[in-house]
Chain A
Amino acid sequence: MATLFGSGIRRREDPRLITGNATYTDDVKLPGLLYAMVLRSPWAHARIKRVDVARARKVPGVVAVYTGKDVAERLNPVPCAWALPNADLKVPAHPPLAVTHARYVGDGVALVVGETREAARDALDLVAVEYEPLSAVVDPEAATKKGAPKLHDDVDANIAFTWTVAGGDADAAFAAAPVKVDLRIVQQRLLPTAMEPRAAVASYNPGTEQLTLWVTSQNPHIHRFLLSLMLKLPEHRIRVIAPEVGGGFGSKIATYADEALAAFASMDLKRPVKWTEDRSENYKVTTHGRDHVEYVELCGTQDGMITGLRTRVYAGLGAYASTAAPGVPTILHGLIYGGPYTIPHIKGVIRGVYTNATPVDAYRGAGRPEATYLMERLIDLFAKKLGADPVEVRRKNLIKKDQFPYTSATGLIYDSGDYHGALDKALGMLDYKKFRAEQAAARKQGRYLGLGVTTYNEICGLGPSQVAGAVGFGGGLYDSALVRVYPTGMVRVYIGGKPHGQGEETTFAQVVADEFGVPMANVEIVHGDTDNTPQGWGTYGSRTTAVCGSAVKVAAQRVKEKAKKIAAHLLEASEDDLEWKDGKFTVRGSPAQSKAFGEVALMANVAWNMPAGVEPGLEATAFFDPTNFVYPFGTHLCTVEVDIETGETRILRYIAVDDCGPLINPLIVEGQVQGGVIQGIGEAMQEIAVYDEDGQLLTGTMMDYAVPRAAQMPNIETAHTVTPTTVNPLGVKGVGETGTIAAVPTLVSAVCDALAPLGITHIEKPLTPARVWAAIQAAPKGVAR
């Protein structure tokens, strides 16, 4: 029987999404609904001297106005849930509304609740806040310097933590190495820009003392857990529902003050309360990504073997430590420093730094894009210094197929890989030699063509729960599925993951339908409601297919084992004599004697004739905790032409060869790769969150923050190699972040290669035409114009 696994079925989610039939949080309407808005500090750093809400309260339709003081007595601070160990981590209290100090533009100062959005909005303008502005700092390196403005009394030099990763003896390697290169890199702040802004609808029932919260969340169980702490409400009285979620890219992992404030207001006013941010608020308040200043160096031998890597990183956290923030530039960044290469000696010192800017948390790739970027930039410089082909230097240092499982210098165990296979495939698609010849010919005509290459691997499928505990993550990293079969043979699967654009309603149905030999239409995947899904840990870090999908597979197998017992009983045969053939339990050698899955489902549910000792019903739950992370990998290539008059880059070809193990649904994988690469091109070429010296966000709307647009993006050629992992029953790795990780260095590498004749080796991203042109003006070898 043909399997659904491997077929590029169109996403079953899409019709409702593109016809306006999806229910997002802001679509939830309840009788008596009130609307909440948060007054935000216009200052990046200020002492709050007085908050006067008298006039705001008088606006017709305004029901309540709360200040930071009102809220502080009733709510616990916003929690940080990643207690990074051995790093002297300091997490100052993050009040849901600022009480004494505002620490970034957007910090909440007051909460207004009205009968209408309009009333609440009008009242915001009438809350009188007296601020005493203080000097601000937004650059994470500058924030650690003597004399820098201090954000929190108990945090010296604004340093939240100092975390070290080390393997081998990097200092000795550098002392002995004949070839060294170094670079200062700025990994600019990015705005995640999910299409749906954040929202929350809180409904507290004073009779049952239960809170129902609809919220834009990638992980409703984490929200329930952390909100019970914040709200001082027992966890079993909180029901979190993440309905349709319109993208997250990491920005909907965190538990924010805003949803807790909506819940607080609902509990206080005994009416449902909705809070929805607009795009400007989204840019100011929803977590940002990246924000590193890095000093990085690499050393190696004359024949091109890399022997060591050292880094010193200032990772901006913004004003407060967001939910997962301490883990992103450390565990998810430093541990993968070795990348796909056999680098024996590694040392990184990473400082998390508080600044007067929006809190930073996971953003597509979360720590890994930064690691891949710095490594790939350094290898290009290393190859240049050696006068060697950057592709060949990579080839030489890649871990070989027969070295897996491979233990990296930082202690990770890479599960499986064929790194050279992906490299060769990508080079073949491009015709590498031909392009180099074209490039040489073009240079003679005064045209600047360039080629960028990235070979990468990444950590995903997070991950074993034991590791989560060891690295201070405030939760487990298993995931779960409950497979329930109805009397008619229809199947519902309740999962702990929270797909929000990744298509698992389709891929998981493929897996289950295959297991039971039923049409996909008979299988429905349910997610997002903590009241009917088993405990899970959400969707991020490209973990849901690898971890939650494995739970689905295991639960389905358990159901099938029970079904087999019942089938054997009904067929009056021994279980050992049954085989699964053409979607039926069949008595071996007697094809006429068989029971289809639906027949067994009916009997299990009516229980008229069950085998001795077998309970009625047909369902099973599985909690799958992987034994290791999974490590997808690949090679991306890009060719560009740079117009040196204007600094504009035209992408000629973009080739992505990724290995995420077997493809459950190639069409969905294609979508993930395309979207990931485009997000990476955005980071490489045009996206940057700009603050001025006073901490004002200058890219506060899409008029100034350059989210990639379809017409600006190239055609992307994709291909795959398939190397299964051994750590889960599906053999799958993750593919949600690979594109973003690989595309950034690929683009920068290509542009720098194009401009190599001018003596340019590195340009700080994003490579806007203005920046590229400025680099050309400052180029060592200049340009004849």
Chain B
Amino acid sequence: MIPAAFEYARAATLAEALRAVATRNTKVMCGGQSLIPLLRFRLTQAKRVVDIGHLKQLHGVSKTKSAIRIGAATTYRALLDSEVLRDACPLVAEVTERIGDRQVRNIGTIGGGLAHADPAADMPGAMLALGASFVVRSAKAKRTVAASDWFKGPFESAMKTNELLTDIMIPVPARGTGMAYESFEQKASGYPLVGAAAVVTLAKGKVLSATLAFTGLGEVPFLAAGAGALVGTDGGADAVRKVADALARGVDANEDIHASAEYRLQLAKVAARRALLRAIDRAR
């Protein structure tokens, strides 16, 4: 497990990092929990690795009236420790507990993971269900990409090679919102065979809004279009079952040595139902 030789540079400032990523054969490291294994397996090669994990302005969780901001280099450990998230958006912590192990969570970062865009990662499901958006910068510009536009293909995000993901923005959930994550893990990797993240808002005993995102199920993590069918219902077990059963219908599900497409579709039904029921329970 010896990588080919590469130059390693810790960017002193964000500006320096942005200049560096614009050069050829450069990889960005933000935690390195996926990049380092890829380099060691020689599945990817880089002339230069620019480390942005230590940049202060990319760390931390803060909240305004309307949005929660998470710095891209915030470690999973820090997400678990964040009172802001625990109070306003507990889904992030719930999902984070399923990521890697203690050592990975101590070093791995939310932005590193989202930029890596592993189609079976846990976090994308939560980001989609929460309606998050991602701030990306280049040396010259800054733009915001909705989570639903972010995952372009397996290990492929909407970010350009000269850009860096700097902030994750999550709208502050409305009162009466409950959220939950259900996943079935592949026992070797710990990645979900299928994960379902649900966010449901209730008002006066009726479902006001409902979103659900799947990860691990298809080529990219995605929002299940049919979750809106819960709106207006009482969010009871029958209504949820009916909606959940239909959510993954017609999806071209992944298939590998660990699970058939048919089995993943079954898990999707169960995960969606359990996530929705728990989210509704928490919303009450």
Residues of A within 8 A of B (CB): 117-118, 121-122, 125, 278-280, 645-648, 686, 690, 698-699, 702-707, 709, 712, 768-770, 773-774
Which among A690, A703, A769 has the highest number of chain B CB atoms within 10 Å?
A769
- Max count, chain A CB within 10 A of own CB: residue among B42, B184, B189, B263: B263
In-complex Cβ contact of B184 among A280, A646, A698 (8 A): A646
In the complex formed, the residue of A with least CB distance to B191 is: A703
Q: How far is the CB of B266 from chain A (nearest CB, A)?
A: 7
Taking the closest CB of chain B, its distance from the CB of A728, in whole angstroms, is 41
Residues of chain B within 8 A (CB-CB) of A773 are 263, 266
In the bound complex, do residue A770 and residue B4 qualify as a contact, i.e. CB atoms below 8 Å apart? no
Stretch from B80-88, B196-204, B252-260 forming part of the interface with A: B252-260
B1 within 8 A of A: yes
Whether A122 contacts B258 by the Cβ 8 Å rule is: no
B192-213 CB mask vs A (1 if < 8 Å, else 0) is: 0100000000000000000000
Contact B260 A706 (CB under 8 A): no
Q: How far is the CB of B192 from chain A (nearest CB, A)?
A: 13
> 3 nearest interchain CB pairs?
A706-B188, A706-B187, A121-B2
Q: Binding site of B, secondary structure by majority: helix, strand, loop or mixed? A: loop
Given contacts A646-B270, A773-B266, contact A707 B5 (CB under 8 A): no
Cβ of B121 within 8 Å of any chain A Cβ, yes or no, is: no
Given known contacts A117-B2, A279-B1, A646-B267, A774 and B260 CB-to-CB distance under 8 angstroms = yes
Complex contacts, A279 vs chain B, CB 8 Å: 1
Query: A118 touching B188 by the CB < 8 A rule?
Result: no
With most chain B CB atoms within 10 A of its CB, the pick from A646, A698, A707, A768 is A646
Can you pick out 7 interface pairs between chain A and chain B where the beta carbons lie within 8 Å of each other?
A: A647-B263, A698-B257, A703-B188, A704-B189, A709-B187, A768-B187, A773-B263
A705 CA to B267 CA in the complex, in Å? Answer: 21
**Chain B CB within 10 A, most for which of A122, A702, A706:** A706
Complex: how many Å from CA A290 to CA B115? 41
Please, which residues of chain B bring their CB within 8 A of the CB of A699?
188, 257
Bound form: Cα–Cα A702–B1 in Å: 14
Shortest C-beta distance, A326 to chain B (Å), equals 30
Chain A positions within 8 Å of B2 at CB level: 117-118, 121
Nearest chain-B residue to A117 (Cβ)? Answer: B2
**Cα distance A648–B270 in the bound complex, in angstroms:** 12
In the bound complex, what is the Cα–Cα distance between A215 and B10 (angstroms)? 39
Partner of B5, one of A118, A125, A280, A774: A118
CB-defined contacts of A121 to chain B, threshold 8 Å: 2
B154 to chain A, nearest CB (A): 15
Give the interface centre of B184, B187, B189 by most chain A CB atoms within 10 Å.
B187
Given the complex of chains A and B, what is the CA–CA distance between A279 and B1 in angstroms? 8
Residue A705 contacts which of B184, B188, B260, B266 (CB distance < 8 angstroms)?
Answer: B188
Q: Mark B176-192, 1 if CB is under 8 A from A, else 0.
A: 00000000101111000
Q: Contact check, B258 vs A770: say whether CB atoms are below 8 A apart.
A: yes
> What would 14 more interface pairs be, CB under 8 Å, given A702-B189, A705-B188, A770-B263?
A121-B2, A278-B1, A280-B41, A646-B266, A647-B263, A648-B184, A686-B188, A704-B189, A706-B186, A712-B187, A770-B193, A770-B258, A773-B263, A773-B266
A556 to chain B, nearest CB (A): 45
Say whether A774 contacts B263, CB under 8 Å.
yes
Residue of A nearest to B41 (CB): A280
Asked if B187 and A686 sit within 8 Å, CB to CB, the answer is yes
Q: Which residues of B contact A645 (CB under 8 A)?
A: 266, 270
Contacts of A686 in B (CB 8 A): 187-188
Is there contact, CB below 8 Å, between B257 and A280? no
Q: Closest residue to B184 on the A side, CB-wise?
A: A646
Contact A704 B257, beta carbon cutoff 8 Å: yes
Complex Cα distance, B260 from A768, in Å, reads: 12
- Chain B residue numbers with a CB within 8 Å of A278 are 1
B1 touches A280 (CB 8 A): yes
In the bound complex, do residue A769 and residue B184 qualify as a contact, i.e. CB atoms below 8 Å apart? yes
Q: How far is the CA of A647 from the CA of B260 in the complex (A)?
A: 13
- A648, A702, A770, A773 pick with most chain B CB within 10 angstroms: A770
Q: Which B residue sits closest to A279, measured CB to CB?
A: B1
A-chain residues with CB within 8 Å of residue B184 when the two chains form the complex: 646, 648, 769
Rounded to whole Å, the gap between the CB of A138 and the closest CB of chain B is 14
Distance, CA A556 to CA B97, complexed state (A)? 55
Give bound CA distance, A698 to B258, whole Å. 11
CB neighbours (8 Å) of B186 from chain A are 706
Query: With a CB–CB cut-off of 8 A, which chain A residues contact B260?
Result: 770, 774
Nearest opposing residue in chain B for A688, CB measure: B257
How far is it, in angstroms, between the C-alpha of A405 and the C-alpha of B141 when the chains are bound?
85
Q: Mark B97-129, 1 if CB is under 8 A from A, else 0.
A: 000000000000000000000000000000000
* A122/B4 in contact, CB under 8 A: yes
Establish whether residues A768 and B266, one from each chain, have CB atoms under 8 Å apart when the complex forms. Answer: no
Closest to A703 in B: B189
A-contacting residues, B200-243, CB 8 Å = none
**Shortest distance between the CB of A508 and any CB in chain B (Å):** 36
Bound complex: CA A677 to CA B204 (Å): 53
Smallest distance from the beta carbon of B185 to chain A beta carbons, Å?
A: 9
Report chain B residues within 8 Å CB of A704: 188-189, 257-258
Q: Mark B1-36, 1 if CB is under 8 A from A, else 0.
A: 110110000000000000000000000000000000
List, in ascending order, chain A residues with CB within 8 A of B4's CB.
122
